[in-house]
A = this chain, B = another copy of it.
C-alpha cells in the first residue's frame, strides 16, 4: 500500500502545475475565479498537500495565481508575468554563437568618477575608482564595448589583477560574487567613441545595458555595455524550467 510511485519519473508537482495551468489557459478557471484549496486538490491529485503547495507556489511565482491566507487561491486578474534572462560571461556568449573570442583593453587607470557614474553606483562624485574600457570581439568583429568602473574597496583582491591580460568581466564574476544587482536597458545613439570602437556609424542606435553590483562591502562595479548595432537580447519565460 501507499506505493504510488508510478515507476516512471513523474515529478508529481510538475504534473499538477501543468494541469492547473491548462485549466487556466483553456479558461476552465477564469481570471479572478477562486480555485479549490490545497487540501481538495491534494485529494483530487492523490498527492500530499506539500506537493500541491509546491505546484501552486510555482504558478504564483509565474504570476498566474494570487494566493492569500484565509482568502484562498485565485487566478490572477492581471497575470503579471515575469521574464528572466541570464547574465553570462561575454566570452561564452561569443563562443556559443560559434565565433572566436578575443578582447582588447582600450584604457585602464584610476580616475575620479563623474556625476552620472556617481549616481549609478551610489558613491560621491570625484571618488577614485578604477576605470577601464574594453572591446570584445567575435571573429575579429566588435561584439560589445564595455565602459566599467570598479571599486577596489569592495574587490580587495583587485590589486593583483591586470585587466590588460585578464578579462575584467570574467575576473569579477569569478572573484567578486555579488549580493545584489541592478540592470537597465536603454537605447542610445552611438557617440564618436562608440562608433569608432564598434566600427559603427555615429548616430546609429545601440542597445545599452547598465549593470551595477553590490556586495556587503559596498558597490563592486558599474558598467555600461554597448552592443553592436542590431544586437538582440533575448529572454524566455512561460514554462518554468527548474526542476
Which A residues are closer than 8 A to B by beta carbons?
Answer: 21-22, 24-27, 31, 57, 61, 63-64, 77-89, 92, 170, 173-175, 177-189, 203-208, 210, 213-216, 227, 229-239, 242
Q: Closest B-chain residue to A63, C-beta based?
A: B86
* Contact across chains for B181 and A238 when beta carbons are under 8 A apart: yes
Copies in the complex: 2
* Contact across chains for A185 and B185 when beta carbons are under 8 A apart: yes
Q: Closest B-chain residue to A60, C-beta based?
A: B242
Tell me how far the C-beta of A237 lies from the nearest C-beta in chain B, rounded to whole angstroms: 5
A207 contact set on B, CB distance < 8 A? 185-187, 207
With beta carbons under 8 angstroms apart, the residue of B21, B27, B61, B203 that contacts A189 is B203
* Contact across chains for A234 and B26 when beta carbons are under 8 A apart: no
* Contact across chains for A187 and B184 when beta carbons are under 8 A apart: no
* Contact across chains for A238 and B213 when beta carbons are under 8 A apart: yes
* Contact across chains for A174 and B205 when beta carbons are under 8 A apart: no
Q: Closest B-chain residue to A209, C-beta based?
A: B185
Tell me how far the C-beta of A190 lies from the nearest C-beta in chain B, rounded to whole angstroms: 8
Tell me how far the C-beta of A90 lies from the nearest C-beta in chain B, rounded to whole angstroms: 11
A238 contact set on B, CB distance < 8 A? 178-181, 213-214
Distance in angstroms between the alpha carbons of A230 and B186 in the assembled complex: 7
Distance in angstroms between the alpha carbons of A231 and B85 in the assembled complex: 19
- Contact A237 to B181, CB < 8 A, known contacts A78-B174, A87-B81, A232-B186: yes
Tell me how far the C-beta of A59 lies from the nearest C-beta in chain B, rounded to whole angstroms: 11
